[in-house]
């Protein structure tokens, strides 16, 4: 462990995991702190989560810091099989910030709250001297009613299918290009979206949902590696099956990024029994036509993710490491 905190410790990958396990888990360990994005409380009846948002720029193609602050936290509840219900909202804003922009951010939050059928019931506002924060930071905490129980990253077993809800990497690519002032003549925009309606569709479809996780910091690679490690299984992914838009692929080739590591804010992974995969795919495609079945769970190399190329070769898909894209959420 390094002696000081680096930007890489917030990347959602290897350094981030080490920081959490060696400092926070070490002191806060208890039976409810399960390593998932949400804790199950009140005997599993409620899901509880919190998240902080520092994205830069605060307005981007497809969303803003207000939209992402509600989507991100409510999506964590949805991934636990929960219906988002009650949120708190804490805002730290620097002096001189535009009142009109603050109102725009709050209206974005209200729109996503309505989509989730949730309400803000408490909050806190701090104004700090100019330069103390970068314009505005937001923390949201949510409580949701668990409407489908038993979902978890340690539940994976041989014979499950892995699906992704849409094409990957759009949020990370959008944020980077806008931050660096790189203009592309394309329709690329963040995938930032509330996922509860999609999850509700899967639940109403009567599927056996084993695991779900939104692929935020660290992207597809981070989620798959966490699942493989937590369940001590192998996850085999077919590279050609992973949906990646031409815009994201082009940005990655130009900038040297791996699309599997790029952050998403409205894309999730789903694990279901093989017999449910086509039904799950059809439901996912009702919400996004780019959903795909991308792989399966086996037992060949426990705790590892294998990427199978179109050339018949295989390689390990590693947990992201190093400084990826800071301030993407």
Residue showing tokens 């709250």: 113
pLDDT of the chain, 329 residues: tens digit per residue: 668 888 777 767 778 878 888 889 889 989 998 888 999 999 999 999 999 999 999 999 999 999 999 999 999 999 999 999 999 999 999 999 999 999 999 999 999 999 999 999 999 999 999 999 999 999 999 999 999 999 999 999 999 999 999 999 999 999 999 988 877 667 899 999 999 999 999 999 999 999 999 999 999 999 999 999 999 999 999 999 999 999 999 999 988 889 999 999 999 999 999 999 999 999 999 999 999 999 999 998 899 999 999 898 999 999 887 766 678 89
| Residues ≥6 apart with Cβ < 8 Å to 256 | none
Q: What share of the chain is helix, strand, coil (3-state, %, to 5)?
A: 35, 25, 40
Residue 43's φ and ψ, nearest 5 degrees, are 65, 25
Give the distance from CA 235 to its chain's centroid: 19
Does residue 275 sit in helix, strand or coil? helix
Q: Evaluate whether 31-146 and 160-316 have a shared fold.
A: no
Specify the CATH architecture of the domain 31-146. 2-Layer Sandwich (3.30)
**pLDDT for res 8:** 75
CA distance 175 to 181: 10
Domain boundaries, the chain: 31-146, 160-316
pTM: 0.94
CA distance 235 to 250: 27
Does residue 272 sit in helix, strand or coil? strand
**pLDDT for res 11:** 64
CA distance 81 to 76: 9
Question: Over the Cα atoms of the chain, what is R_g?
Answer: 19
- Classify residue 313 as exposed, middle or buried by CB count within 10 Å of its CB (0-12, 13-18, 19+): exposed
**pLDDT for res 185:** 63
CA distance 166 to 39: 26
CA distances from 246 to 25, 92, 249 (A): 40, 37, 5
**pLDDT for res 324:** 65
For 160-316, which CATH superfamily applies? PurM-like C-terminal domain (3.90.650.10)
Does residue 69 sit in helix, strand or coil? helix
User: Which of 193, 229, 198 is closest to 212 using CA atoms?
Assistant: 198
CA distance 318 to 90: 35
CA distance 194 to 172: 17
């Amino acid at each position: 462990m390094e002696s000081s905190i680096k930007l890489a410790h917030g990347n959602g990958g290897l350094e981030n995991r080490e920081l959490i396990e060696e400092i926070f888990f070490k002191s806060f360990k208890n039976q409810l702190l399960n390593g998932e994005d949400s804790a199950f409380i009140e005997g599993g009846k409620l899901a509880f989560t919190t998240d902080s948002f520092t994205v830069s720029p605060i307005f981007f193609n497809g969303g803003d810091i207000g939209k992402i602050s509600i989507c991100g936290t409510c999506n964590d509840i949805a991934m636990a099989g929960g219906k988002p219900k009650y949120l708190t909202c804490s805002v730290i804003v620097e002096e001189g910030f535009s009142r009109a922009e603050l109102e725009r951010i709050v209206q974005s939050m209200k729109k996503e709250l309505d989509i989730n059928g949730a309400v803000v019931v408490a909050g806190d506002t701090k104004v700090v001297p100019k330069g103390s924060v970068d314009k505005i930071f937001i923390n949201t905490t949510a409580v949701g009613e668990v409407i489908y129980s038993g979902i978890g990253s340690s539940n994976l077993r041989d014979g499950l299918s892995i699906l992704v809800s849409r094409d990957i990497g759009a949020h990370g690519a959008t944020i980077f290009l806008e931050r660096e002032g790189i203009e592309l003549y394309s329709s690329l925009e963040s995938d930032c979206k509330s996922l509860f309606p999609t999850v509700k569709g899967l639940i109403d479809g009567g599927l056996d949902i084993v695991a779900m996780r939104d692929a935020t910091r660290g992207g597809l690679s981070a989620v798959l590696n966490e699942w493989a490690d937590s369940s001590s299984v192998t996850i085999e992914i077919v590279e050609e099956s992973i949906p990646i838009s031409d815009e994201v692929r082009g940005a990655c080739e130009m900038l040297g990024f791996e699309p599997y590591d790029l952050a998403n804010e409205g894309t999730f992974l789903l694990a279901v029994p093989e017999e449910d995969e086509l039904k799950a795919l059809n439901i996912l495609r009702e919400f996004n036509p780019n959903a795909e079945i991308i792989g399966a769970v086996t037992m060949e190399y426990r705790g590892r993710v294998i990427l199978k190329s179109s050339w018949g070769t295989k390689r390990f898909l590693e947990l992201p490491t190093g400084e990826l894209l800071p301030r993407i959420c």
